[in-house]
Amino acid sequence: MSSSISNDSVTVVVTRRVKSGYESQYENWLKRLLEEAKSMKGYIGAVVQKPAPGSTEYTSIFRFDNVENLRKFEESEIRARYLGEVVDYVEADAIWKKFSGLEFWFSPPSGTIVPQPSRFRMALVMIVVVYGLVISIGQLVATLVGDVIPSYVRLFITISIEIFLMTFILMPHLTKLLAKWIYPSSSSPISTKNSMKVS
């Protein structure tokens, strides 16, 4: 593995289906796991998304500063101990998906075995999107609120709107349109290497 990849932060998205009636036990288990994970070298932080109405699927998003430190966590006694404890609370194995650097914003096209995006092209897309949002949303917020609220509050509102639009509206649509350009080497059949299942 090249040093340029090893030095990139890694985002891991974990999904688990929790048995009905075991939600509180699972949430307590997850809280304890994430608390102990703080002691691991390179751990940056985590966000947990609870199931939508009618669903039992929890999504956990956590980050390490590089692939090597993530691997140490995956091989750690902490993770092994907690995986042995959670089996009574979940319906199936968890699915882990890893994204490094800007890849978290981009979804690979159908047919990609191991996502290998063009980092330069990802950066270009991000630059264009962020620039467009900064110009348009910034001016819109300034026009609507003027000097009624402090500048730092306007900046917070502007950034919040921009991140929301990027995450839920713009990037999902743009990655579908530009996926084959962002992932130029993606002509192989779909493989289970895209995700890693753990018990």
Predicted confidence (pLDDT) per residue in 95-122, tens digit: 776 655 555 555 554 444 334 556 677 7
For CATH 3.30.70.100, the residue range(s) in the chain are: 3-105
The pTM assigned to this predicted structure is 0.48
**What pLDDT digit, counting tens, does each position of 31-43 carry?**
999 999 999 999 9
SS3 labels along the chain: CCHHHHCCCEEEEEEEEECCCCHHHHHHHHHHHHHHHCCCCCEEEEEEECCCCCCCEEEEEEEECCHHHHHHHHCCHHHHHHHHHHCCCECCCEEEEEEEHHHHHCCCCCCCCCCCCCHHHHHHHHHHHHHHHHHHHHHHHHHHHCCCCCHHHHHHHHHHHHHHHHHHHHHHHHHHHHHHHHCCCCCCCCCHHHCEEEC
Q: Does the pLDDT at position 5 exceed 90? A: no
Q: CATH topology for 3-105?
A: Alpha-Beta Plaits (3.30.70)
